[in-house]
Structure 1
Amino acid sequence: MEEQAQIQETEEGSNILYGVDAWVDYLKDKPFPVRASSLKRLKILLSKDSTMISHLTALVRSDPVLCLHVVRAAEKKHAAKGSHVTSIEHAVSSLGMDPLTQLAKTLQPVKLNPSSVQQKQYLRTVANSHHAAVQARTWQQMKQLPFTEEVYLASLFYSIGLWALWLNAPLHMHKVRVKIWEENIDPTLAEHDILGCTMQQISMGLSEHWGFSELTLQAQDPDTSPSKGLLNKLHQRALSDPRLSEEELRELNHLTQERHFPIKLANWLSLIVSRGWRTTRNIKTTDIISDYLGLDTDKTLALLHTLCAEASREYHAPGTLAPAAEMLMISSSYPNNYKLGKRELELLTPKYPIPEKPKPKPKKKKTPTLAKPKEQVLTHIPETLLDEVIYKQIVERFVKDYHLYTKPAHIIQGLMQGLVQGLGLQRIALNLVNTKSHKMKAAQVVGIEKDHPFASYQIDLQIPSIFKKLCDKPACTWITNENKQQYTKLMPDAYSSQLPENDCLMMSIFRDKVPVAIIYADAGETGLPFTAFHHQRFRYLCSAATLALKRM
């Protein structure tokens, strides 16, 4: 647990831990310490001639970290044959006694420290993963589905990145927790801000490097995760909501029949209940599980409680709150041990990498201009159009159709022309949305330097943010000094740090209920604030563009 980090600071932050590739490269060879009792029992079993594969399998199954080591070693052996481990017994029997003996010699025991929040979080994360695996395996057995043991392993390793992060990057996890609990930032967005990617992406990267099964990778792949809207529909189906159409029901049936669905569902459950069993999110999740298993709500809740208790008995670290203990707790908004204490921070800071981000290019400082006479000092941008003829012409072409607009790109360019030459906005960024790859990327800028972050900005739209909200339906956002703090919580730090001193506008453009672009506009770094005049005309022009796209 106290292994020193081996990341050295270099020029221009070439070794800064930020982004999925950097994290996978840093974490892939780090050791995972095993409970001392499990390691001792393993060595005793391996020393006996009477030990059978079933004895070793039972021991490996009882300790998730030991299971990780055995499966990783077995996957290396199977890689040469182009196959994968399908169960714990398969992994143990594939290795045999001698390789297991060699493996046991390389493993490190956990030195329990009852005052270490880092260690408690690591062990509790492992326990939560074990809880998820037990839930998923039982659901598979109840539904009489195949690949039960493979689902168990995939569920167990679903959050492997979280194990590794608490173990090897506690200072980063401390920052993430502070953002979540103290700044009320969405967990996924908080991870993206501090780590440069999500925990799920790190887990998938590690699984790819270690050669885990295709099912594990499918479960960890962010592209297979249902959207918030689809999850709401799942809950509607669980409540037998008659508003769901036949097409929507077919889509939901297809989702629940995917092999990776119970893996994701079990891990969502274990994460949610680790923060309390009486939350609204857990009630909805229980309804979805009830529908998935075909049980009534009371029987489902009793089953989940029973399995949670069984998982807690199977794997428990002294001094660590077991998942089942949460069932006994009175609901509270106060999160215990969510971050490192001051003394522990001082002890860990020299030993682990410090949270850093690639430094953005500094904003260009404009040379000050001579002050205007007092009577000419303005508090807002004048409520006039730069060119009323161009503005009205573009609007008319959007509303009444224009024969030269034959492609969506023509309408988008007409919109840019109307905003710049008609409305007179100083800076515009056209961000195109790719719904297949769930990405938003800057495609064109006007009035913004080519080396400015907005000119090349891109974001994963699966990360909860203001951009994801704008892609749910056509909407316009007017960010002012009064509400800037509220909106910056919905933005990655890399974006919010580049916002101008005063106002900016953002609006999504749709075609056939599908987002195609998000337009950003402001009056420059130090421009004056907008008024309702500019907001209304910006929104009207963007809405007219959406109408024109709808008719194509």
Structure 2
Amino acid sequence: MPIETKVPSQPPSSLEAWVKLLDGIRVPVPKESHDRVLQAINDSRRSLRDIAELMQDSPALVLCVMREANHSANASQAEPAESLEVALNRLGLGRTSQLLARLPALPGEEIPPVLRQFLLISQHATQQANGLFASRLARLWQEIHWGSLLFLSPMWPLALAYPKLLDTWELRVIHKGEDAAEVEQALFGVRLMQLCRSLAEHWRLPEWVIQGYRLLLEEREQLAQVLNIAREQDPLVQQQRLDDEPALRRWFNQPPNTVLLANGLALAAQVGWDNPHLLRWQLLTALYLQTSLDDVQQQVHQQAAASARHHARHALFHPAEALIWPWNQRRPHPDMLTPPPPSTEDLGRWRALCQTLLAQPSPFSNGVHLASQARDALLACGMQRVMLLSLDKATDYLRVQQTAGLPKEAATIALPVAQNKLLQKLMSKAGQLRLTPDNHAQFSVLLPAPLRAFFRSEHLLLRSLAVGEQVLMLAVADQDGKPLADVSVQAFGKTAQCIERALAVFAIRNG
């Protein structure tokens, strides 16, 4: 991974630590775009505007140039550069060329997908901003354009360093409707908007970017008041209410708000065209432009289609795809989709592993060897995260023997059976518990805290494994939080039986 700073497996938990870490991460640029820009810089016939236009295909390249130009050591001017042309002027083509040489350039398909998706959202937001606002505010088109492209840039190094955290945030906040403050505190230790603003200030990004985050953090009350007016269906009533509050009208009509509106539209459209988040941004945009909701929706759809023509990439989702879906259909998060059944190759491997588990006499030299084979069999049947725990009879603790798909810290946990009623029941006799969205609220609170932390999932299997009447192990497994495939659940049960048989034969050999 092209990262300057080594990324710790455990993410930071303070604002200062996050800013320091993300500031040191170099966001890769597509090699084809990198080469085109470098060629243009070395071509004396090309103007700064030509070079700036070429750079637009790579938002990460724009960010790098803007950051370098606005760095306190490089910027003699007090104000940060608000456009790429100004930034290029400050740096000069020689230093820009040196800067490009230091950047990691990768083929587009090798750039991590979560980062590529965020870059695509930023490009879509820029298209929305240009189509909706730039023609109306022609003198300010550069501020609108570059501010819109860079608004989400603090998320880009985060998407590169901890893509799973952002995936989990999207699943829990956007798709499941959990409280954003609680989720962000649990995942990041800080609020995301605070982190974005701090990083934007540290990088001295254009003021319009910082103002957008300031609005979301400190001026939410005014935003709520404006949204309340925007929900009025009668344009005359809307105008009267704005006239009654001139300070609020001036606050809302500020040109920098276009950057936030465009990014709000682009982000919300990632879920689908019929969702309350998107409707709010469309209503606010309609009020800003003094036009109808229908008109704004039509314009937004047109700009999405225009963006898709320029920016859509293989294996990435662009909201324009959803324009041909039924109106109320939404894009499910990948973790809400049932994984495909195991491949023929995996099933063949699973059968071979189970045959080894059933072999007599036992082929295993020790319990660790047996548990390793059991873990591999569970993975081959479709499980993606596995934890096998053995009962330490002397202390009545469950201790981890094998893990797969989990952080290395998971291998160190020990669970006291006597302190947990669910563990007591599972360890009293062989049995299986399957967590589903229907019973998750009932049973998840009964899980020991370490298991809840490592298996944050509504779809989970727990099975105690016994020889005769004596329970010896506990298997915990899921398909990385996704809904469980029926064929994998059946295979999990058969694998558990094979493991129990292997434990019995091993016990006879060592009896």
Which TM-score tier does this pair reach, normalised by the shorter chain? 0.5 to 0.7
CA distance in 2 between partners of 1:194 and 1:200 (Å): 14
> Which of 53, 63, 67 pairs up with 1:58?
53
Contact in 2 for aligned 1:169/1:352 (Cα 8 Å): no
Q: 2:288 matched to 1:295?
A: no
Task: Describe the shift of the 1:225–1:70 C-alpha distance in structure 2 as closer, same or farther (beyond 3 A).
Answer: farther
Q: Offset at 1:259?
A: 3.4
CA distance in 2 between partners of 1:53 and 1:112 (Å): 25
Match of 1:271 in 2: 267
Q: How many residues align?
A: 356
Q: How does 1:80-479 map to 2 (within 5 A)?
A: 80-113=76-109, 119-144=112-137, 146-180=139-173, 184-221=177-214, 222-226=217-221, 229-237=224-232, 239-240=234-235, 242=237, 249-330=245-326, 331-333=328-330, 335-337=332-334
Letter in 1 for 2:329: S
CA distance in 2 between partners of 1:307 and 1:280 (Å): 20
Tell me the SS of whatever aligns to 1:80. Answer: coil
Task: Describe the shift of the 1:252–1:354 C-alpha distance in structure 2 as closer, same or farther (beyond 3 A).
Answer: farther
CA distance in 1 between partners of 2:64 and 2:409 (Å): 28
Letter in 1 for 2:163: P
CA distance in 1 between partners of 2:383 and 2:305 (Å): 31
Task: Describe the shift of the 1:101–1:158 C-alpha distance in structure 2 as closer, same or farther (beyond 3 A).
Answer: same
Structure with the larger RCO, 1 or 2 (CA within 8 Å, 6+ apart): 1
CA distance in 1 between partners of 2:120 and 2:14 (Å): 27
Task: Describe the shift of the 1:172–1:34 C-alpha distance in structure 2 as closer, same or farther (beyond 3 A).
Answer: same
1:275-326 Cα shifts (integer Å, max 9, x gaps): 1112233234323322221223333222212222223333343332223223
Task: Describe the shift of the 1:350–1:123 C-alpha distance in structure 2 as closer, same or farther (beyond 3 A).
Answer: farther
Contact in 2 for aligned 1:172/1:354 (Cα 8 Å): no
Contact in 2 for aligned 1:179/1:185 (Cα 8 Å): yes
Using the size of structure 2 for normalisation, the TM-score is 0.60
Q: Offset at 1:42?
A: 1.3
> Which of 19, 32, 36 pairs up with 2:27?
32
Tell me the SS of whatever aligns to 1:147. Answer: helix
CA distance in 1 between partners of 2:407 and 2:150 (Å): 24
CA distance in 1 between partners of 2:184 and 2:135 (Å): 35
Task: Describe the shift of the 1:297–1:167 C-alpha distance in structure 2 as closer, same or farther (beyond 3 A).
Answer: same
1:24-76 Cα shifts (integer Å, max 9, x gaps): 11101200111121012112222323222222011012321121112112212
1:191-232 Cα shifts (integer Å, max 9, x gaps): 232112222212111111112233321112211344674254
Letter in 2 for 1:21: E
Q: Offset at 1:246?
A: 6.7
Contact in 2 for aligned 1:127/1:323 (Cα 8 Å): no
Tell me the SS of whatever aligns to 1:38. Answer: helix
Taking only aligned residues, the RMSD between alpha carbons, in angstroms, comes to 4.1
Tell me the SS of whatever aligns to 1:173. Answer: helix
Contact in 2 for aligned 1:154/1:219 (Cα 8 Å): no
Letter in 1 for 2:246: R
CA distance in 2 between partners of 1:301 and 1:28 (Å): 37
Match of 2:464 in 1: none
CA distance in 1 between partners of 2:166 and 2:383 (Å): 13
Q: Offset at 1:187?
A: 3.7
Q: 2:65 matched to 1:70?
A: yes
Q: Offset at 1:170?
A: 1.9
CA distance in 1 between partners of 2:181 and 2:147 (Å): 21
| Structure 1 runs not aligned, ≥5 long | 10-14, 357-364, 366-484, 498-552
| Structure 2 runs not aligned, ≥5 long | 340-378, 386-402, 411-418, 420-440, 454-511
1:171-204 Cα shifts (integer Å, max 9, x gaps): 3224323433675313454223211222221211
CA distance in 2 between partners of 1:250 and 1:310 (Å): 36
CA distance in 2 between partners of 1:350 and 1:113 (Å): 27
Match of 1:17 in 2: 12
CA distance in 1 between partners of 2:100 and 2:336 (Å): 33
Tell me the SS of whatever aligns to 2:28. Answer: coil
Task: Describe the shift of the 1:269–1:145 C-alpha distance in structure 2 as closer, same or farther (beyond 3 A).
Answer: same
Contact in 1 for aligned 2:265/2:281 (Cα 8 Å): yes
1:129-148 Cα shifts (integer Å, max 9, x gaps): 22222322444334336433
Task: Describe the shift of the 1:192–1:157 C-alpha distance in structure 2 as closer, same or farther (beyond 3 A).
Answer: farther
Contact in 2 for aligned 1:170/1:352 (Cα 8 Å): no
CA distance in 2 between partners of 1:344 and 1:205 (Å): 40
CA distance in 1 between partners of 2:135 and 2:248 (Å): 20
1:376-426 Cα shifts (integer Å, max 9, x gaps): xxxxxxxxxxxxxxxxxxxxxxxxxxxxxxxxxxxxxxxxxxxxxxxxxxx
CA distance in 2 between partners of 1:288 and 1:180 (Å): 22
Task: Describe the shift of the 1:332–1:140 C-alpha distance in structure 2 as closer, same or farther (beyond 3 A).
Answer: closer
Using the size of structure 1 for normalisation, the TM-score is 0.56
Task: Describe the shift of the 1:34–1:339 C-alpha distance in structure 2 as closer, same or farther (beyond 3 A).
Answer: farther
Letter in 1 for 2:15: V
The structure with the largest helix share of the pair is 2
Question: Identity percentage over the alignment?
Answer: 19
Contact in 2 for aligned 1:177/1:339 (Cα 8 Å): no
CA distance in 2 between partners of 1:351 and 1:90 (Å): 47
Tell me the SS of whatever aligns to 1:79. Answer: coil
Task: Describe the shift of the 1:280–1:193 C-alpha distance in structure 2 as closer, same or farther (beyond 3 A).
Answer: same
